[in-house]
Copies of this chain bind each other. A is one copy, B any other.
Amino acid sequence: MTFIKTDDYHMRREYTAQYLAEYLNGEVSGDENVKVFSVARIESAKEGTLAFLGNLKYEEYLYTTKASIVIINRKFEPASPIIGTLIRVDDAYKAIASALELFNTKSTSKKRGRSWGADIAWSAKIGHGCYIGSAAVIEKRSSVGRGVQIYPQCYIGENVSIGENTILYPGVKIYADCKIGSNCIIHANAVIGADGFGFAPLPDGSYKKIPQTGNVVIEDNCEIGANTTIDRASIGSTIIKRGVKIDNQVQIAHNCEVGENTVIAALTGISGSTKIGKNCRIDGQVGISGHLTIADNTSIGAQAGIMSSIKKEGRSLLGSPAIEAREYFKAYAVFKNSVKKR
């Protein structure tokens, strides 16, 4: 591994196929000494770059790419001869994630220090090695763990705690009393702990606000997308368990619980008091009604609407109200042919 200085702030790095194969626990087929300088997409890669084939939709590019090295899955059998050098690995996605870290100079530069423009309460406890950017506000009795990165314009309400090495990108707002774990990433303008949407109807047609006295608890290793909102509980906690990954513009209502390692794609909404199991996979624009329980390992397709609890694990659902994805596709085929058939 050699470092070449190209300008005053960026490092250019180069690696041989042999080095990468060892690093990625893979095998070279081709020239072990060929070098790559950066990562590129297989369809637009140039000489000197490293590409990968994960999604087989892109297989055609494997046979024409100019990438010097391509990472592929060990069990994949190319249909035609390949020009460049291959590195065969167990899991091309995991390997490219590791390879990108090698080339990603950004991840190595962790910011430190407090901006003069940050407003930090005297009673807030700030750990060592934190970064607190301009116009960020940290209110009374909050505690921020070691190495936390708080970008500009973030708001940390009273009595909030944030675990070690968590990153809050610009404009994140965390209301009072919420708890954020360690090694989390929360993207810009996400809002954690706003009031749940709870009102009691009054006889005159207006509404009485139900106080939202609880909080939000986000456990370790979670990632929360930009502009996502997670509401505080009316009583108790809205809970996001460890390892959960939530995309942009997702809405999680009060008193929900999302189980470990569940993944939720953009624009999905989960209504109040619903409990999602572990290792679920929820696609974009899904809607889930309130007071439901969703079993572990449930897979919910894009735009599906879940109106009743899912008790059996491992189902794959689609449609609104959602049914088995397979059934939905069949029924939809009948639906779309219904006119022709008559």
- Partner-B contacts on A (CB < 8 A): 9, 39-41, 44, 55, 57-58, 91, 93-94, 96-98, 100-101, 103-104, 106-107, 115, 117, 119, 133-135, 137, 141, 151-153, 155, 169-171, 173, 175-176, 185, 187-189, 191, 194-195, 197-202, 205-211, 213, 221, 223, 225-227, 229, 231, 234-236, 243, 245, 247-249, 251, 253, 255, 260-261, 263, 265-267, 269, 271, 278-279, 284-285, 287, 289, 291, 302-303, 305, 307, 319-321, 323, 327-328, 330-332, 334-339, 342
Contact = CB atoms under 8 A, between A and B. Distances in A.
Given A100-B234, A206-B261, A137 B211 contact: no
Copies of this chain assembled into the complex: 3
Nearest to A284: B269
Contacts of A205: 243, 260-261, 278-279
B248 A267 contact: no
A263 B207 CA distance: 9
A226 B225 contact: no
Given A194-B225, A195-B223, A265-B271, 5 more contacts: A155-B170, A175-B188, A271-B284, A302-B305, A334-B335
A182 to B, nearest CB: 14
8 contacts: A106-B213, A117-B117, A134-B137, A189-B189, A209-B223, A227-B229, A287-B303, A334-B339
Contact of A335 (B57, B104, B197, B338): B338
B287 A285 contact: yes
Label chain A's interface by main secondary structure: loop
A141 B211 CA distance: 34
Nearest to A40: B235
A252 B91 CA distance: 27
B330 A339 contact: yes
A213 B39 contact: yes
A232 B195 CA distance: 25
A175 B83 CA distance: 37
